[in-house]
Structure 1
Amino acid sequence: MPAAATAFPAPTPTAATDLAPHELRILVAVDGERGFSAAARVLGLTQSAVSHSMRGMERKVGAVLFERGRKGATPTAAGAIAAAHARRVLRLLDTLAAEARGAERGTVTGPLRIAAFRSAALFLLPPVLERLTARHPGIEPEVHVVRELGVGTAGEVVQGRADVGIATVGATSPVPAGLIGDVLIEDPYSLVHPAGHPAPRSLPLVDWHENCGSHTRRWWAGQDWIPKATVLAEDDGAVLSMVSRGLGMAIMPALSLNEAPDGIEITDLGPGRPTRSVGYVTTPEQASSVSVRALIRELRAARP
């Protein structure tokens, strides 16, 4: 059974501002490792030091951040929010140091963390990052492929795990509260089927879990020729492979159809076809950093 929650007195107005960077790193480690012992090993500290620091943070914040139990440490609602803020604060401290050095040397250096869904990472980002690093050799892009399900790539930015997310945004997928962003491309959907098939709309539907934009689903609901998916694949690459083998047809966005395999035919769905809006999201504070501004300029320059 989890230990009973401890009630803390209300913190003073300045208590939370007394949190030190090393405390924030401990908070992030406990959240990431889901345990005090595991966090201690990662940080090179003793478990008692981690526990003592966590109790001090909880007193300063005025809330229980983790439920302690036999299976480790589970973040409370307050703890999840605190860990997300801690990651973002620590990233800002890294940015502070990198940009101060850059101002002195006249260069931009350091990592740039980007979360992107698979087709964006494969086809949208590479030419953008090629131009970015040619202009700013000191920037070190780190691209993490994230499934565009649930909180998706935008959630990685909210949680402080990425500086920029390449996400599905727009009227049907608004930018999450607390983030800023913009649409980069409109990605139209097409019918994808085995080449030369005489009646492709009669084939079974092959789909994948991420292909779930609300606008697309509403369009699908009005198409009586589209059956329920008989095959659900792990990603869009697997869908294309199955379609090329004659196992069915699919409805896919253009970004996923780059370098489509042989044996596939792409048919325009005509007027009213669905599209998805692909753009970037970031935090207001990271939007002012040199490396993020440089990336956004290159992303905008790459618009069709």
Structure 2
Amino acid sequence: MDTAAKSAPGAASATRAADLAPHELRVLVAVDSERGFSAAAKALGLTQSAVSHSIRGTERKVGAVLFERGRKGATPTAAGAAAAAHARRVLRLLDTLAAEARGAERGTVAGPLRIAAFRSVALYLLPPVLERLTARHPGIEPEVRVVRELGAGTAGEVAQGRADLGIATIGATSPVPAGLIGDVLIEEPYSLVHPAGHPDPRSLPLVDWHENCGSYTRTWWAGQDWIPKATVLTEDDGAVLSMVSRGLGMAIMPALSLNGAPDGIEITDLGPERPSRSVGYVTTPEQAATVAVRALIRELRAAEGGAGSEARLR
């Protein structure tokens, strides 16, 4: 590790983090994203020495070592990961400042709107919402990234400053992460999905996928002695539906995933005690105050019935 970086936290000449300039934040984000000074320099059109000098200066101002330097590149420390997330959010707010100032002058809303969503939301919930949003605000440019709802998931994209708003699985067992705000939009009931006309679908092997269930319905699943351990585990819900339609098993799936289900599938209600999954939006307090995010939330809340016949919008 370079000695200048080691001395950063205790440097007597350390200045305040408030003195960080936008170009220093961009360098910080680039090194975090590229995991190396050379790669970051190439991405930014700078020299490696300029990037290294900028990071050393940032470490002095922050008062913490942000990257471990090594042969394999630059690995963010815990402080570095936190700083990079804040840097992305600050840079995004600077972009928003300019966009909203121009919009206030012209009476319009314009610019990119970054949305993170998991697959079924991106396929079935968002398209009609974004259609209405862009019809009302033609200057808004939605950018949708499909993110697997595993680990930090879509909420993590928001927390890291990579998305302005995420559509996430939230609720009593999966609260909105600390530092973010949000609310539930949809309660998705789960149903039994099986080959049409099968005389005893509960006897079939279980087909499942990595994102399904999680903590949302774990208690219910644990109490169902008829649900076997999955014999087939796929990457997404579309693959599950395809396999069930071919008679390879049954599945237990939430409502959004059942939109556009292929021929050969039958959907059976699991009764009044069926589990459900709560889907909602998460954003940062700063982005929640922006015109574009507020407009998107309004359209999401107005989308009653737009999530499919089984999903109930709140």
**TM-score using structure 2 length:** 0.94
Q: What are the equivalent positions in structure 2 for 1:1-304 lying under 5 Å apart?
A: 6-8=6-8, 9=10, 15-303=16-304, 304=313
Indicate the residue corresponding to 2:307 in structure 1: none
Find the aligned partners of 2:11 and 2:179 in 1 and give their Cα distance.
26
Runs of at least 4 residues of structure 1 off by over 2 A?
Answer: 2-5, 10-14
Q: Deviation string for 1:177-233 (max 9, x for gaps)?
A: 000001001000000000000110000000000003313121111000000000000
8 Å CA contact retained: 1:166, 1:280: yes
Find the aligned partners of 1:84 and 1:13 in 2 and give their Cα distance.
22
Q: Deviation string for 1:48-100 (max 9, x for gaps)?
A: 00000000000000100000000000000000000000000000000000000
- State which drifts further: 239-248 or 214-223: 214-223
Q: Which SS does the other structure have where 1:107 is aligned?
A: coil
Find the aligned partners of 2:55 and 2:11 in 1 and give their Cα distance.
17
Find the aligned partners of 1:227 and 1:104 in 2 and give their Cα distance.
61
User: For residues 23 and 11 of structure 1, do their structure 2 counterparts lie closer, same or farther at Cα, with a shift above 3 Å needed?
Assistant: farther
8 Å CA contact retained: 2:14, 2:60: no
Q: Which SS does the other structure have where 1:133 is aligned?
A: helix
Find the aligned partners of 1:283 and 1:94 in 2 and give their Cα distance.
15
User: For residues 294 and 248 of structure 1, do their structure 2 counterparts lie closer, same or farther at Cα, with a shift above 3 Å needed?
Assistant: same
User: For residues 7 and 13 of structure 1, do their structure 2 counterparts lie closer, same or farther at Cα, with a shift above 3 Å needed?
Assistant: closer
Find the aligned partners of 2:14 and 2:60 in 1 and give their Cα distance.
13
Find the aligned partners of 1:169 and 1:104 in 2 and give their Cα distance.
37
Structure 1 unaligned spans of 5+: none
User: For residues 10 and 244 of structure 1, do their structure 2 counterparts lie closer, same or farther at Cα, with a shift above 3 Å needed?
Assistant: same
| Alignment RMSD (CA, Å) | 1.3
Find the aligned partners of 2:15 and 2:202 in 1 and give their Cα distance.
64
Find the aligned partners of 1:13 and 1:95 in 2 and give their Cα distance.
30
Percent identity reads 87
8 Å CA contact retained: 2:195, 2:249: yes
Find the aligned partners of 1:176 and 1:12 in 2 and give their Cα distance.
36
8 Å CA contact retained: 1:133, 1:139: yes
Find the aligned partners of 1:10 and 1:3 in 2 and give their Cα distance.
14
Structure 2 unaligned spans of 5+: 305-312
Q: Deviation string for 1:92-136 (max 9, x for gaps)?
A: 000000000000111000000000000000000000000000000
User: For residues 12 and 295 of structure 1, do their structure 2 counterparts lie closer, same or farther at Cα, with a shift above 3 Å needed?
Assistant: farther
User: For residues 3 and 227 of structure 1, do their structure 2 counterparts lie closer, same or farther at Cα, with a shift above 3 Å needed?
Assistant: farther
In the alignment of these two chains, the number of paired residues is: 303
User: For residues 277 and 118 of structure 1, do their structure 2 counterparts lie closer, same or farther at Cα, with a shift above 3 Å needed?
Assistant: same
Tell me the CA shift for residue 262 of structure 1.
0.3
User: For residues 161 and 137 of structure 1, do their structure 2 counterparts lie closer, same or farther at Cα, with a shift above 3 Å needed?
Assistant: same
Find the aligned partners of 2:292 and 2:93 in 1 and give their Cα distance.
12
Find the aligned partners of 1:11 and 1:138 in 2 and give their Cα distance.
48
User: For residues 3 and 205 of structure 1, do their structure 2 counterparts lie closer, same or farther at Cα, with a shift above 3 Å needed?
Assistant: farther
